[in-house]
Structure 1
Amino acid sequence: MKRSKGKVYLVGAGPGDPDLITVRGKELLEKADCVVYDRLVNRELLKYVPSRAERIYCGKWSGFHLMKQEEIQTALVDRAKRGYNVVRLKGGDPSIFGRGGEEAELCADEGIDFEFVPGISSGVAAPAYAGIPLTHRDYASSVAFVTGHSCRKQDNQAPLVRWDELAAGVDTLVIYMGVKNLPEIQKQLLKNGRSGSTPMAFIQQGTTAQQQTFTTTLEYAVEKAVEVELVSPAIIIIGEVVKLREKLSWFEEEADKSPVPFIEVV
């Protein structure tokens, strides 16, 4: 019997490898009455969801959203008000460029109980699987997670991303959703003092069997991306730690690694 008032769980699904779901996340999937899941969620995780549970796919592509964000949030509240235990399953971590904060805000406004269940972000996992530690005593003591989706000014307001401060003030930059705007990102970093010889890495389909890592330098970033036909989802790493990849690469070199299903990319 369902309660008169349910709860919304904002669950991080991890970066792609289904083994990287947290224990808490798996337990909640097994008890869910409704699961609302994103395009970058590995479908293998849905095997934990009861057959009786409602499943709502809300995939988003560049330029096309199957469900608008407002519709997703309304669906969460609606099901919770019916007494459902609702799992909002998001790729990576719900609080890192996952709009989990917006969904939690609406729950709070509507008097719906909610819980954040952190996940392993692709910005942490993909570099680790590529043999690139984000910090290292000899190379980097600071790291910043940055959206590459909004890299221009909004009308006459201040820049949405402070590239001037990031270029010179942070050792390692981890950029999400930056493939489309790579030329502008490169331009802003070079303009604001980042050396063109700074090592860079593109990690495509991180933590899956289709993972590919390409290294270059900031000066030649755009040319490299064109050469390898870089597509999303991809994480961009900028910093001296990228030099460690040649020595520490492990995942892509495992000849007998068990396959991790491909994440849908359209």
Structure 2
Amino acid sequence: MSPKFIDDATREAREAEILQTALDVIARDGVSGLTIDKVVSKVPYSKGTVYNHVSCKEDLLTALCNNCVRRLADIFFRAASFDGNSREKMLAIGIGYMLHSQFDPTEFMLVISAKTPSVTEKSSQKRQEEHQELETKLLGTILQIISEGLANGELTLAPHLSPAQVAFSLWAMSFGTIALLQDNVERCGVRQEMTLERELTNHANLVLDGLNWTPYTPDHDWHESVQRMKATVFAPEVEALRTRRNLNLQG
């Protein structure tokens, strides 16, 4: 029998279904509970078909992580388009990251799993190369905002810092703050009184003040900026979260 060929759209839709099913398994059983067999049992495809899309569990995790980074790249692009100064745009990176994590906390945390040696060593070269390309795109948007700040005099880098170091530190700060203050994370006493949006804004301002990125915290209404971000460039995420919460209340 001749092999059955499928068009790109069908293949992409099939892969999206496989990845969403894997994400559902992780949400229920955790990363350690994910297996190809569990995914196969919940999709209308054979094990061989699933293996045509992913080579192993680790390749599946990298594919999920790449989906997350791909969505983040779009969010970061919109953050950079925010109608404001360069420091506001950098804060918008963090706010967009926060909204993404609130809508899909499972996918957000997969970045950690996908970067462990046990995953990277077994994931396919194609997925790994795709991951590097997507991360480069992600950091490229942050570097673009840094370049804007340098060009218009809002940011002056210390001699020992490069734009890439600043970009990485801001990305890491945003991820760490969100990861520690997510609603589904058990908090110690000090963190119990902290709210994610407020503390993310505070921590971003602390770092940006330290980098001598103007306007400084006391010289600008950052709360107003955040509300404007949520009403404009991140309106789709805000609406999606509102809809989900309303459905949860009705349920």
TM range (shorter): 0.3 to 0.5
Where is the strand percentage greater, Structure 1 or Structure 2?
1
Q: What is the TM-score normalised by the length of structure 2?
A: 0.35
Where is the helix percentage greater, Structure 1 or Structure 2?
2
Q: What is the TM-score normalised by the length of structure 1?
A: 0.34
